[in-house]
Amino acid sequence: MMKRETIFLKLVIVLMALPALAISIFVVPPMTGFVGEILPKWEFLKYVFMLTLYGSAIAYFAALYQTLKLLGYIDKGIAFSERSVKALKNIKYCALAITVLFILNLPIILYTAEVDDAPGLGGLGMIITFGAIVIAVFAAVLQKLLQNAIDIKSENDLTV
């Protein structure tokens, strides 16, 4: 049974997936081709670029899925469980993967922005990288707090 409190959050998670899916389908392929055009001597970089962007998208969708699982645990009343800790840990790893993949792509993104005279593109790459780092740190903090709460709860259960 889905609780009203998390319906909105689940809807937001689904809506967050739609732009990423659209970008993966409609923006990445032409952008990959453009990278191949501006770097003809290093044409293999377009494949590196494409793979890292799709790898980031996969990590993003995995993080969204873990978030949906976490909301499901909240619905079931088992938010303070090892499953929730594991979901937060997976979200942290997904955010770290996105960070690493975008750092690998940043030189290509910045060069593309310079050639295409699109400074916002370079800024967008840095914002995504920074945002992923923030999410990884936040998930790590929540994971640690939740683990401490579970440990305290289990100690109290043993005392009673």
Q: Which residues contact 69 (CB under 8 A, 6 or more apart)?
A: 83, 87
Residue 73 near residue 51, CB atoms below 8 Å: no
DSSP state of 61: H
27 SS3 class: helix
pLDDT band (50, 70, 90) for residue 10: very high
As a whole number, the mean pLDDT across the chain is 91
124-151 per-position pLDDT tens digit: 888 999 999 999 999 999 999 999 999 8
Q: What is the pLDDT of residue 1?
A: 53
- Whether 34 and 112 have beta carbons less than 8 Å apart is answered as yes
Residues 62 and 105: their CA atoms lie apart, in Å, by 20
Q: What are phi and psi of 104, to 5 degrees?
A: -65, -35
User: Could you tell me the pLDDT band of residue 40, with boundaries at 50, 70 and 90?
Assistant: confident
Can you give the pLDDT at residue 13? 96
Contacts of residue 153, defined as CB under 8 A and 6 or more positions apart, other chains included, come to 80
Cα 156 to the chain's mean position, in Å? 35
**More confident site: 153 or 60:** 60
Q: Can you spell out the DSSP letters for 91-151?
A: HHHHHHHHHHHHHHHHHHHHHHHHHTT-HHHHHHHHHHHHHHHHHHHHHHHHHHHHHHHHH
In the chain, % of residues over pLDDT 90: 66
pLDDT given for residue 2 in this prediction: 58
How far is the first Cα of the chain from the last one, in angstroms, to the nearest whole number? 31
pLDDT digits (tens, 9 = 90+) for 94-125: 999 999 999 999 999 888 888 888 778 888 88
